[in-house]
């Protein structure tokens, strides 16, 4: 009886996982763009959808002027970054949207049966077609911002260095929120609400968040790290903020992993839900 055993170093294992994850993401995106007309409609519609929020906050900025260094340019940058972060996360890691309901209805089983990192398998479950539109929207808006502010090459690099941890925080916060369903039955609505708090607040101009509000939305619900802090890093560079965002990204990554490990131990599959 020849049993397959993989004895690999941590790095080799990681490389193997990333290779498979890349392939799965490729397949997901391929599947999403299969129905070409529907794909263009979804992506285009999302661009229009997001523009509305941009218009709303530009009207706000027009009425109130600059608040703590936050004017029209900053709002444009914010909407672009949040759109891009959201788009990247739900294009490549759309599975975060499905975790809570899968745990709730017992179909999480199939994820436990594959010989892959559970964390990556969950993240790469699917692609949200409309998120590709969000990504395009975000990029376009940031290009507009770049042109309007004559952004330098170094500032562009700094922007990228701020967006990457923003994506990590976004994905892992959403992931952690979704793991609530392991611990509380029928909690996928609750998970959704927790995530909505992050997303809603992320789009609000950071200049209006000061004092205790700033603290709450940085260190308890990291909404400001998704958009406002990256904007501030680019417009008023602070190494402290740049380091802080990377540290917070690491913290949320670890929290998500911890939540998953404990959640799986508590997982009760589909068996007893019907009995209630």
Partner 1 sequence: MAKVVDVKNLFKSFTFPVKSAHKNFIQNLFTPDKRTVQAVDGISFSVEEAETVAFIGPNGAGKSTTIKMLTGILYPTSGKISVLGFNPQEERKQLAYNIGTVFGQRSQLLYNLPLTDSFELLSKIYELEPKKYQKQKNNLIELFNLSEIIDQPVRKLSLGQRMRGEIAASLLHQPLIIFLDEPTIGLDVIAKQKLRENLTNINRELKTTIFLTSHDAGDIESICERTIVINHGTIIYDQETLNLKKIYLNKKIITIELEKIIDKKIPPHQGVEIIKQKDNMIEIIVDTTQTTLERVLKNVISELHIVDINIEDPPLEETIRKMYETQKAR
Partner 2 sequence: MKHKKPGSVRQHIAKYTAITAVTLKETLYHRNKLISTVFISTFRLIMLALIYKYAYAYLGTTINGIDQTTAVWSIAIYHILLFTQFRSIFRTIKSEHQKGSLEVQLNKPYNYLVYKCFEQLGKGIPNLVINLVISIPILIVLVGPPPALTPLLAVSALLLTICGTLVSAAIYACISLTNLWIEDAEPVFWIVDKAVLILGGAYIPIALFPPRAQTAAHFSPFGAPMFATKIFNPNFAYEWPSLLLMQVVWIVVFILLTHTYYKATQKVLAINGG
Instruction: Measure the N-to-C terminal CA separation of the chain; round to a whole number of Å.
Output: 43
- Identify what 56 binds: partner 2, partner 1, none; CB under 5 to 8 Å per kind: partner 2
Contacts made by residues 153-158, CB under 8 angstroms, sequence distance 24+: 155/234, 155/237, 158/233, 158/234, 158/237, 158/242
| Nearer to partner 1 among residue 31 and residue 66 (C-beta) | 31
- Least CB distance from residue 137 to partner 1, whole Å? 25
Q: Provide the binding-site residues for partner 2, judged by CB under 8 A.
A: 35, 37-38, 41-42, 44-46, 48-49, 51-53, 55-57, 59-60, 62-65, 67-68, 130, 186-187, 189-190, 192-193, 196-197, 200-201, 204-205, 208, 210, 213
Among 127, 136, 139, 131, which residue's Cα sits nearest to residue 98?
A: 127
- DSSP 8-state secondary structure symbol assigned to residue 95: G
Q: Which residues contact 131 (CB under 8 A, 6 or more apart)?
A: 46, 86, 87, 89, 90, 91, 94
Q: Hey, which residues does 70 pair with through a beta bridge?
A: 67
> Which residue reads 């090459």 in tokens?
153
Q: Provide the binding-site residues for partner 1, judged by CB under 8 A.
A: 1-6, 16, 19-20, 23-24, 27, 30-31, 34, 107, 109-110, 112-117, 185, 265, 267-269, 271-272, 275-276
- Identify what 192 binds: partner 1, partner 2, none; CB under 5 to 8 Å per kind: partner 2
| Nearer to partner 1 among residue 116 and residue 257 (C-beta) | 116
Per DSSP, the chain holds a count of helices (H) and strands (E) of 13, 0
CA distance 249 to 92: 18
- Identify what 112 binds: partner 1, partner 2, none; CB under 5 to 8 Å per kind: partner 1
- Identify what 45 binds: partner 1, partner 2, none; CB under 5 to 8 Å per kind: partner 2
| Nearer to partner 1 among residue 20 and residue 251 (C-beta) | 20
């Amino acid at each position: 009886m020849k049993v397959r055993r993989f004895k690999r170093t941590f790095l080799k294992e990681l490389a193997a996982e990333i290779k498979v994850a890349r392939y799965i993401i490729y397949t997901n995106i391929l599947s999403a763009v299969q129905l070409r007309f529907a794909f263009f409609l979804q992506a285009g519609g999302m661009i229009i959808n997001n523009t509305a929020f941009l218009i709303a906050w530009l009207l706000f900025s027009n009425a109130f002027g600059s608040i703590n260094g936050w004017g029209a340019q900053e709002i444009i940058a914010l909407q672009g970054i949040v759109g891009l972060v959201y788009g990247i996360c739900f294009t490549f890691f759309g599975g975060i949207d499905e975790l809570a309901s899968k745990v709730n209805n017992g179909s999480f089983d199939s994820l436990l049966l594959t010989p892959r990192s559970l964390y990556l398998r969950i993240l790469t479950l699917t692609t949200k077609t409309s998120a590709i539109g969000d990504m395009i929207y975000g990029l376009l808006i940031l290009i507009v911002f770049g042109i309007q502010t004559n952004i330098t090459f170094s500032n562009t690099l700094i922007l990228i260095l701020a967006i990457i941890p923003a994506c990590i925080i976004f994905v892992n916060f959403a992931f952690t929120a979704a793991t609530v369903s392991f611990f509380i039955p029928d909690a996928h609505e609750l998970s959704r609400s927790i995530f909505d708090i992050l997303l809603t607040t992320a789009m609000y101009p950071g200049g209006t968040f000061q004092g205790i509000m700033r603290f709450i939305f940085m260190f308890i619900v990291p909404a400001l790290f998704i958009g406002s802090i990256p904007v501030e890093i680019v417009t008023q560079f602070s190494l402290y903020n740049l380091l802080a965002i990377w540290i917070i990204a690491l913290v949320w990554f670890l929290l998500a992993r911890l939540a998953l490990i404990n959640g799986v131990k508590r997982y009760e599959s589909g068996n007893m839900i019907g009995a209630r």
